[in-house]
A and B are shown apart, each in its own frame.
Chain A
Amino acid sequence: DGGITQSPKYLFRKEGQNVTLSCEQNLNHDAMYWYRQDPGQGLRLIYYSQIVNDFQKGDIAEGYSVSREKKESFPLTVTSAQKNPTAFYLCASSTRTGNTEAFFGQGTRLTVV
């Protein structure tokens, strides 16, 4: 079955460590997205990529980095520069044109202690 896989589902890290969240899709979608979700703040866009080897900053990119070396993969690194990294992170993908919805992974809950 086609879909988006995020791993791991739960992740714990010590403060000051970088951590990478995985996102893989087999939907043959060109576009991929990373969102951060905090209680009461909806979905905030971190980074998005419309095509391999290209990506753009979203609304809250500071302290995060991404790469898009393969169409299927869009990993997100939460760096030590991110002041408050504890959150629920969602990855999504879609076609590049607008008449289709975005498909979401099941999310990764990151807790920094």
Chain B
Amino acid sequence: AQSVTQLDSQVPVFEEAPVELRCNYSSSVSVYLFWYVQYPNQGLQLLLKYLSGSTLVKGINGFEAEFNKSQTSFHLRKPSVHISDTAEYFCALRAKGGYQKVTFGTGTKLQVIP
């Protein structure tokens, strides 16, 4: 079985400051990893994904994430946040091989303070 842990339920940060949203996972097999963003009353949109290769993945809106296999982490970062980044962010994984469903973390609400 797989699981995803997002340790921070809420993260307040001032505008133009850097931010890191943490994601740790547990799996007995190799996984693909994803970060999604959700704005109020909307569905989830993909920010970025790690499939293989370089452990530093760049996504949309200036976000990036780094896959760390030894620490089973996939933290999301942005060097300078904007008010428009205020949203909820979800980390997710799918196990490699076979037919696997997507497993999500509980989400982190990012509040950007002007």
Pair from one complex: yes
* Residue B53 interfacial (CB < 8 Å): no
A-B contact count (CB 8 A): 66
Cβ contacts under 8 Å, B96 to chain A: 98-99
A98 and B100 within 8 A (CB): yes
A50 and B41 within 8 A (CB): no
A45 and B43 within 8 A (CB): no
* Residue A43 interfacial (CB < 8 Å): yes
Q: Mark B89-100, 1 if CB is under 8 A from A, else 0.
A: 010101111111
Identify the interface centre among B41, B45, B90: most chain A CB within 10 Å of its CB: B41
Cβ contacts under 8 Å, A104 to chain B: 36, 43-45
Say what secondary structure dominates the interface of chain B. Answer: loop
B95 and A42 within 8 A (CB): no
* Residue A101 interfacial (CB < 8 Å): yes
B contacts with A, residue count (CB < 8 A):
29
Contacts A33-B101, A33-B102 known; A105 to B43 CB distance under 8 Å? yes
Report Cα–Cα, A101/B102, bound state, in Å: 8
Say what secondary structure dominates the interface of chain A. Answer: strand
Q: Return the contact of B90 from the options A42, A45, A96 (Cβ within 8 A).
A: A42
* Residue A106 interfacial (CB < 8 Å): yes
B101 and A48 within 8 A (CB): yes
Q: Return the contact of A94 from the options B44, B90, B102, B107 (Cβ within 8 A).
A: B102
Which B residue sits closest to A4, measured CB to CB? Answer: B43
Q: Mark A75-113, 1 if CB is under 8 A from B, else 0.
A: 000000000000010101010111101111111010000
Q: Return the contact of A31 from the options B6, B99, B106 (Cβ within 8 A).
A: B99
B104 and A43 within 8 A (CB): yes
A-side interface residues toward B, CB under 8 Å?
Answer: 4, 6, 31, 33, 35, 40-43, 45, 48, 50, 88, 90, 92, 94, 96-99, 101-107, 109
Q: What are 12 residue pairs bridging A and B, where the CB atoms are less than 8 Å apart in the complex?
A: A33-B101, A35-B104, A42-B107, A43-B107, A90-B43, A98-B98, A99-B32, A99-B96, A101-B34, A101-B102, A104-B36, A106-B43
**A-B pairs with lowest CB-CB distance, top 8:** A42-B106, A104-B43, A98-B94, A104-B44, A43-B104, A96-B99, A42-B107, A106-B43
